[in-house]
Structure 1
Amino acid sequence: MDLVISDPEDILKISSAFSSMTRINILKITSLEPKSITELSNELMMTKGNISSQVSELEHAGLIEIKYENGEKGIKKIIKSKYDKIIILLSSDSTNNSFQESKE
């Protein structure tokens, strides 16, 4: 699914989510397949706390889906990127919808 953004406020919200290479990497990894916090922590060689913080930022921006599953030591978060493509329209004649989802 694609996300098309044209509203300046929404562009700012999304761009702040991209201000961290860790968050970009999380989006890239989870666009291929869902991952747990532990799996992301291992792949990115970062602490679970740092990954959790970055995931929270992506969730706040509306860029990921989170599901909960039973794990070995309790409930675990499974993270999946919502979009395959994010398009930012800067022209003034852009669509009236600030957030527009399309399936291509």
Structure 2
Amino acid sequence: MRLLNSNRVLMELIVTDPEGIYRTSYALASMTRINIVKMVSLRPMSVTEISEALRLTKGNVSNQIASLEEAGLLQASFENGVKGVRKLLKNRYEKIVLVLTE
């Protein structure tokens, strides 16, 4: 983590271990997942908002999100919605660095 100024902290993920590099690379090895990461970097979004923006089913988007959450790249929060609880997703990190050399 690096401090940029008194109001903003840049969260940086630096991955050096082979398993972590694989897990992170695998999570980002899909254009759909990359698009999701880019979208939720702008603002927190729900599965419904993401699926509508990408024109994909909620089931497909949920599966893609599960891969990103499993790798620790997304963070979820919950709020009351019109039809119950709504899950909002946002990036956990602003910058991801994969270190391939020792």
TM-score, normalised with respect to structure 2: 0.87
Q: Which residue of 2 aligns with 1:46?
A: 56
Q: Which residue of 2 aligns with 1:29?
A: 39
Moved over 6 A (4+): none
% of aligned pairs identical?
Answer: 50
Q: Spell out, residue by residue over 1:15-59, the C-alpha distance to the aligned partner (whole angstroms, 9 max, x if none).
A: 110111111111001111100111101111111111111111111
List gaps (5 residues or longer) in structure 2.
1-10
How big is the shift at 1:4? 0.6
How many residue pairs end up in the alignment?
92
What does residue range 62-101 of structure 1 map to in structure 2 within 5 Å? 62-92=72-102
Q: Which residue of 1 aligns with 2:25?
A: 15
How big is the shift at 1:70? 1.0
Amino acid corresponding to residue 63 of structure 1 in structure 2: L
TM-score, normalised with respect to structure 1: 0.85
Q: Which residue of 2 aligns with 1:60?
A: 70
How big is the shift at 1:91? 1.2
List gaps (5 residues or longer) in structure 1.
93-104
Q: Which residue of 2 aligns with 1:3?
A: 13
